[in-house]
């Protein structure tokens, strides 16, 4: 299937700063694509060039093989990181307002049901909670039944429950064969939602692939965690690479069977042994050399 | 059209539901008109206005001491009939024509005219031929009303639309609209029409309300008055749109709007007549839409001017509306 959107040698130069430095992307239809990066990595600049909100200094963005034009505005849905709505309008009025800006739209009742807005339809948009507001903003991004949806950090500031509810909503949207481009601060969010991710650093993509591919590629080993209360002394004497980590000792290995045999041979009690999986957070630190601080 | 109507409806709802702003927009002009009507009801002026047809030099030859007499203001006129009309309406205390044998016109029911007649007799003009005219005085409040309503409209148009757009840009609402198929001209035109409807309706309410208590002089056609008022408001709103077309700073927009409003407030004839002012001041005033709106509405209300008579003002207001709106749409930035 041809990509729904492609970016070729995308560059954005501001005075003294090269915010985006030659990005190439091909996003297939129907997937959720995650763009991750620390503050200042260039992911918002990149997504806003993909959205057609900002023009690139050089390079090109093509939507279904064509330059961005009037058709693009009709066929994409965008949820910005920071946005405001017209004051003094209810949720229903706001939906109707945006509905009238497009030529073709979903039935408004369908969007209301999809985004669970029924209970707050007559509420002033200024009086919505964070989760309700994000659901409304997503509904506005969906109202034109877009093929491509951009979600820029949609769950930032939400409590864990509201965030997971929003994830369910995004999964529901994705199940309609929509393409989603998502930026997020939360690695677990990218892992839960994204089929493919790109990690950005200093305006470039430093790693790209499915979450599992990247974890396998960057972390061929596993981490064994053993409580240090009674085994700490023995572990430190062994040539096994044990490292204290709080009350635990961690051992990285790509030869699991061999390492376990070594531990048993040395009489280490493995009843409370745990094997920790690598996460995208580990990956992020690994490829950018930074703490998560995104 | 659907998009335009969507923006228009949304903006109207926003304004009408903002009760504090709505009440303030209604109350402010009422307070101004009543306050100033009472303050200036005496019409106290410490200077006598004398219109001169034929030039000051001829006047000096005819009555050498007259031009140097203190507390007299001489205003040159070319159009004798228009000047006589002003004497009839007590807008001028006396008219002297020195283009041929010297004559003067004085309103027999004007106390100022009576006193001024005694003054000029003492400084050599006692030989001038006396022409008496009659006519009811145009009260200060009748002269003043078009100015105060026009000025109130100016603030409502410029600040109302200017600050709203800057706020939209600052809080990201315009960026959200940029992501839709809505065009800049559709958005700006909807803002213009929304504000225009509100300003015209509110001004009409204020006019009718004040008229109930003060009983304004209205010599002309209400249709012509409405047309001039509407075009004037359009022109002023277009200036507001132009000022707000680019900036995301409320402070900068406030400064720019002040730069636009203060000269208009002082020089458009809202508070005092510019007759007798320096020619360059009058030329600058001619550049302001507010000057044309106030001048035309005064002519309609106080002198019964017809549409044909105020057509030059109508053209200026139409043209400035189109030019400012077009430039505003061209330079408009969503972010």
Model confidence pLDDT, tens digit, residues A159-178: 888 788 888 888 888 888 89
A211 lies in the same domain as A246: no
Query: Measured between beta carbons, which residues in chain B are less than 8 angstroms from residue A53?
Result: 175, 178-179, 335
Q: Does B19 touch chain A (CB under 8 A)?
A: no
Q: Are A207 and A86 in a shared domain? A: yes
d(CA B281, CA B268): 10
Structure tokens belonging to residue A291: 């703490």
Task: Mark whether B264 and B160 lie in a shared domain.
Answer: yes
Q: Do A18 and A162 reside in the same domain of the chain?
A: yes
Torsion of CA B94, B98, B101, B107, to 10 degrees: -10
Tokens 């290995």 correspond to what residue? Answer: A253
Residues B108, B143 share a domain: no
- Asked whether residue A138 is assigned to any structural domain, the reply reads yes
Q: Would you say residue A284 lies in a domain?
A: no
Residue B208 sits in the same domain as residue B315 = yes
Give the count of alpha carbons within 13 A of A273, CB side only: 15
Last residue of a domain, one of A216, A236, A259: A216
Q: What is the CATH number of the domain that holds A184?
A: 3.40.50.300
Domain presence at residue A293: no
Quick one: B29 and B76 in the same domain? no
Residues from chain B that touch A89, judged by Cβ atoms under 8 A, are 10, 13-14
Q: Is B168 on the interface with A (CB under 8 A)?
A: yes
Is residue A286 situated within a structural domain?
no
The count of C-alpha atoms lying within 13 angstroms of the C-alpha of B16, restricted to the half-sphere facing its C-beta, is 12
CA B33/CA B203 separation, integer angstroms: 12
Indicate the residue among B113, B133, B153 that finishes a domain: B133
Q: Does B11 touch chain A (CB under 8 A)?
A: yes
Domain stops at, among B86, B111, B133: B133
Mutation for B interface: A99, A101, A134, A143, most B CBs within 10 A: A101
Indicate if A264 and A127 belong to the same structural domain: no
Cα–Cα distance for residue pair A240/A259, rounded to 1 Å: 8
Q: B234 and B180, same structural domain?
A: yes
Is A54 in contact with B179 (CB distance < 8 Å)? Answer: no
| pLDDT for res B38 | 64
For residue B307, give both structure tokens: 């549409």
| Average pLDDT in chain B | 84
From CA A182, how far away is CA A197, in angstroms rounded? 9
CA–CA distance, A56 with A49 (Å, rounded to integer): 6
Q: Please tell me if residue B173 touches chain A, with a CB cutoff of 8 Å.
A: yes
Same structural domain, A125 and A252: no
CA distance A87 to chain B (A): 6
Same domain (yes/no): A17, A44: yes
* Number of domains, chain A: 2
Please tell me whether residues A98 and A230 are part of one structural domain.
no
Last residue of a domain, one of B133, B167, B182: B133
**Domain interval for residue A172:** 3-216
C-alpha to C-alpha distance for B28 and B51, rounded to whole angstroms: 36
Of the residues A88, A96, A149, the best mutation for testing chain B's interface (the one with the most B CB atoms within 10 Å of its CB) is A88
Residue A122 with chain B: CB contacts under 8 Å: none
Alpha-helical segments (H) within chain B:
2-17, 19-39, 56-62, 80-88, 111-120, 140-171, 173-178, 184-214, 222-243, 250-267, 279-286, 289-303, 311-331
State whether B323 and B201 are in the same domain: yes
Nearest to B180 among A86, A87, A98 (CB): A98
pLDDT tens readout for residues B264-282: 888 887 777 776 677 788 8
In 3D, which of A184, A10, A181 has the Cα closest to residue A81? A184
Q: Are residues A97 and A48 in the same domain?
A: yes
Residues A102 and A179 in one domain: yes
Question: In this complex, do B9 and A97 lie within 8 Å of one another by their Cβ atoms?
Answer: yes
pLDDT band at B230 (very low <50, low <70, confident <90, very high): very high
Binned at pLDDT 50, 70 and 90, residue A101 comes out as very high
Task: Kindly state the average pLDDT of the residues A101-112.
Answer: 90
Is A292 among the domain residues? no
| Chain B residues inside the 8 Å CB shell of A78 | 176, 179
Q: What ipTM did this prediction achieve?
A: 0.78
Residue B174 shares a structural domain with residue B261: yes
Same domain, B118 and B244: no
Tokens of A249: 């000792």
> Is position A283 within any domain?
no
Which residues are registered as beta bridge partners of B105?
A: B95, B131
Residue B231 has pLDDT above 90, yes or no: yes
pLDDT tens sequence across B28-47: 777 776 776 665 555 445 57
Same domain, B65 and B202: no
Which range of B124-138, B171-185, B264-278 scores highest in mean pLDDT? It is: B171-185
Q: Are residues A134 and A265 in the same domain?
A: no
- A226 lies in a domain? yes
Q: Is residue A39 part of a domain?
A: yes
CA B286 to each of CA A280, B77, B291, B293, B312: distance values in angstroms, whole numbers, following the listed order: 68, 17, 6, 11, 11
Q: What are the residues whose beta carbons fall under 8 Å from the beta carbon of A167, sequence distance 6 or more?
A: A155, A189, A192, A193
CATH number of the domain where residue B57 is located: 3.40.190
The pLDDT of residue A175 is 87
Say yes or no: B167 and B270 in one domain.
Answer: yes
- Mark whether A21 and A158 lie in a shared domain: yes
Per-residue pLDDT reduced to its tens digit, A189-206: 888 899 999 988 888 988
Structural domain tally of chain B? Answer: 2
What is the domain range of residue B29? Answer: 2-39+139-331
Q: Are residues A154 and A185 in the same domain?
A: yes
pLDDT at B133: 82
Interchain contact B35–A (C-beta under 8 A): no
Beta carbons of B173 and A84 less than 8 Å apart? yes
Residue ranges of alpha helices (H) inside A117-238 are 130-142, 160-174, 187-193, 211-218, 228-237
- In this structure, are B222 and B162 located in the same domain? yes
Q: Which residues of A touch B335 (CB under 8 A)?
A: 53
Asked if residue B228 and residue B268 are part of one domain, the reply reads yes
- Which one of A86, A103, A134, A138 makes the best mutation probe of the B interface by having the most chain B beta carbons within 10 Å? A86
**Is A83 close to B176, i.e. CB distance below 8 A?**
yes
Q: Among A257-266, A283-292, B295-304, where is mean pLDDT lowest?
A: A283-292
């Amino acid at each position: 299937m041809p990509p729904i959107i492609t970016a070729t040698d995308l560059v954005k130069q501001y005075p003294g700063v090269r915010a985006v430095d030659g990005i190439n992307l091909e996003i297939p239809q129907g997937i959720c694509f995650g763009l991750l990066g620390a503050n200042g990595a260039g992911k918002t600049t990149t997504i806003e060039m993909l959205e057609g909100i900002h023009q690139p200094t050089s390079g090109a963005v093509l939507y279904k093989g064509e330059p961005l034009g009037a058709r693009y505005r009709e066929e994409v849905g965008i949820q910005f990181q920071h946005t405001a709505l017209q004051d003094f309008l209810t949720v229903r009025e706001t939906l109707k307002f945006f509905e009238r800006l497009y030529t073709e739209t979903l039935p408004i009742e369908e969007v209301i049901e999809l985004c669970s807005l029924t209970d707050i339809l007559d509420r002033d948009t200024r009086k919505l909670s964070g989760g309700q507001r994000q659901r409304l903003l997503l509904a506005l991004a969906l109202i034109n039944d877009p093929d491509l949806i951009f979600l820029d950090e949609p769950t930032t500031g939400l409590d864990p429950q509201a965030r997971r509810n929003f994830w369910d909503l995004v999964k529901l949207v994705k199940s309609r064969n929509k393409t989603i481009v998502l930026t997020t601060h939360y690695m677990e969010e990218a892992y839960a939602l994204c089929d493919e991710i790109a990690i950005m650093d200093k305006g470039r993509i430093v790693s790209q692939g499915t979450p599992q591919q990247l974890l396998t590629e960057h972390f061929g080993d596993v981490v064994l965690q053993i409580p240090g209360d009674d085994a700490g002394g023995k572990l430190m004497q062994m040539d096994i690479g044990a490292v204290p980590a709080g009350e635990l000792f961690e051992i990285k290995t790509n030869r699991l069977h061999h390492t376990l045999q070594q531990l048993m041979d040395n009489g280490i009690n493995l009843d409370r042994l745990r094997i920790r999986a690598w996460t995208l957070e580990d990956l992020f630190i690994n490829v950018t050399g930074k703490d998560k601080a995104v | 059209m659907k998009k335009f109507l969507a923006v228009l409806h949304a903006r109207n709802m926003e304004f009408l539901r903002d009760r504090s702003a709505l009440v303030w927009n209604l109350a402010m002009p009422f307070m101004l008109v009543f306050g100033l009507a009472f303050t200036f009801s005496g019409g106290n002026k410490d200077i006598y206005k004398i219109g001169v047809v034929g030039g000051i030099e001829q006047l000096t030859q005819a009555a050498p001491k007259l031009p140097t007499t203190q507390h007299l203001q001489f205003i040159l006129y070319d159009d004798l009939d228009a000047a006589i009309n002003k004497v009839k309406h007590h807008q001028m205390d006396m008219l002297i024509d020195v283009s041929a044998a010297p004559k003067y016109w004085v309103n027999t029911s004007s106390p100022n005219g009576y006193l001024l007649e005694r003054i000029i007799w003492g400084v050599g003009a006692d030989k001038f031929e006396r022409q008496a005219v009659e006519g009811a005085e145009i009260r200060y409040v009748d002269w003043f009303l078009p100015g105060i309503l026009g000025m109130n409209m100016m603030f409502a148009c410029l600040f109302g639309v200017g600050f709203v757009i800057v706020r939209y840009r600052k809080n990201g609402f315009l960026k959200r609209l940029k992501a839709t198929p809505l065009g800049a001209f559709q958005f700006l035109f909807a803002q213009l029409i929304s504000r225009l409807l509100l300003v015209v309706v509110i001004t009409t309410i204020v006019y009718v309300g004040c008229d109930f208590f003060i009983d304004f002089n209205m010599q002309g056609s209400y249709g012509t008055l409405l047309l001039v008022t509407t075009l004037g408001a359009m022109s002023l709103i277009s200036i507001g749109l132009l000022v707000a077309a680019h900036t995301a700073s409320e402070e900068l927009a406030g400064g720019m709007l002040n730069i636009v409003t203060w000269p208009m407030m002082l020089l458009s004839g809202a508070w005092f007549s510019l007759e007798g002012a320096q020619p360059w001041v009058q030329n600058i005033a001619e550049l302001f839409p507010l000057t044309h709106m106030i001048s035309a509405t005064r002519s309609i209300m106080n002198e019964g001017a017809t549409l044909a008579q105020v057509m030059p003002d109508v053209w200026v207001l139409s043209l400035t509306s189109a030019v400012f709106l077009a430039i505003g749409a061209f330079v408009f930035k969503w972010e």
